[in-house]
Structure 1
Amino acid sequence: MTDLAIGDKAPDFTLPRNGGGEINLASLQGKAVVLYFYPKDDTSGCTVQALDFSAMGADFEAANSVVIGISPDSVKSHDKFAAKHALTVMLASDEEKTVLETYGVWKEKSMYGKKYMGVERTTYLIAPDGKIAKIWSKVKPAGHAQIVLEAIRAL
């Protein structure tokens, strides 16, 4: 696991995505890219976040940016999640957890005294030049999409 910081070149990746096909970070150079890492499809916080990013899709597009949600769920799970909630946000599947580990979001968590490994809800904003412009850790889902959009507009 690497400790990524603002100003670092964002590590490239290629992952399978909902709706078929793959998403490759390097292919998005020239646009701002929002990578939001979330724990699990169809859970309350993750649904709020995905719905907000989907609802604001046109705003992100107008700001020359792409939003990608990444979790360890399968593409099949992402497809069901997207269909159930009419999501338009792109969802990438990292079942091997390689991208989650590279970006430092696969962490030990604890709930009710039990320790387990899981995704710490984190968002990376990657500037059009491929460098990390902003990192939000331990994100609260409600209102987060608006905060990210304002940061993109300020780039």
Structure 2
Amino acid sequence: MPEISQPAPDFTLPSTDGGDVTLSALKGKPIVLFFYPRDNTPGCTKESVGFSENRAAFEAAGAVVFGISKDSMASHEKFVAKKELTVPLLSDENDTACEDYGVWKEKSMYGKKFMGIERSTFLIAADGTIAQIWPKVKVPGHVDAVLEAVRAL
């Protein structure tokens, strides 16, 4: 996992807003990346809806927000339409961003071990360095904590 003050790992991923998003091309403004396990699951839905409901507040603070999971673009597009999400979702089907950010981890459920995304959020400062990291995110109150950190930059 990258550390605070280190350069944020760059990536280019397809977006539900159309086209690709290249992180390094967004330098000059704060970026929030929230990595989540799967589209249309309860925690992921609450988190995505929370960021969407606060998109205007993040924009007013000068920040851009992206959700990232390994789901396909087709899955993301259905999720966006079904939940009326306004935050763009990026598809990392090839694991590159998940690996680079250290969120692709071994998980365990009901005694079974499997690989999956550990819900994590990264705040990237305007200079392209990591300003704050929230590993193992618990959804309640998380969006507010991230917005507060963006405003404090």
Q: If the length of structure 2 is used for normalisation, what is the TM-score?
A: 0.98
Aligned-partner SS, 1:40: coil
TM-superposed CA distance for 1:146, in Å, is 0.7
Matched AA of 2:41: T
Matched AA of 2:139: P
**Alignment RMSD:** 0.7
- Residue 9 (str. 1) matches residue 2 (str. 2): no
TM-superposed CA distance for 1:113, in Å, is 0.5
1:67-146 residue pairs with structure 2 within 5 A?
67-146=65-144
Partners of 2:7 and 2:69 in 1: CA distance:
21
TM-superposed CA distance for 1:99, in Å, is 0.6
Identity of aligned residues (%): 60
TM-superposed CA distance for 1:142, in Å, is 1.9
Partners of 1:20 and 1:135 in 2: CA distance:
27
- Residue 41 (str. 1) matches residue 39 (str. 2): yes
Deviation by residue 1:80-122 (Cα, 9 ceiling, x = unmatched):
0000010000100000111100000000000011000000000
Stretches of structure 2 that go unaligned for 5 or more consecutive residues are: none
- Superposition misfits of 4+ residues, deviation over 3 angstroms: none
Aligned-partner SS, 2:16: coil
Instruction: Determine if contact 1:73/1:95 at 8 Å carries over to the other structure.
Output: yes
Instruction: Determine if contact 1:41/1:73 at 8 Å carries over to the other structure.
Output: yes
Instruction: Determine if contact 1:18/1:76 at 8 Å carries over to the other structure.
Output: no
Deviation by residue 1:27-76 (Cα, 9 ceiling, x = unmatched):
11111000100000000000000000000010000000000000000011
Instruction: Determine if contact 1:121/1:138 at 8 Å carries over to the other structure.
Output: yes
2:150 aligned partner: 152
1:29 aligned partner: 27
Aligned-partner SS, 2:66: strand
Number of residue pairs matched?
153
Aligned-partner SS, 1:23: strand
Matched AA of 1:69: G
Partners of 1:21 and 1:86 in 2: CA distance:
19
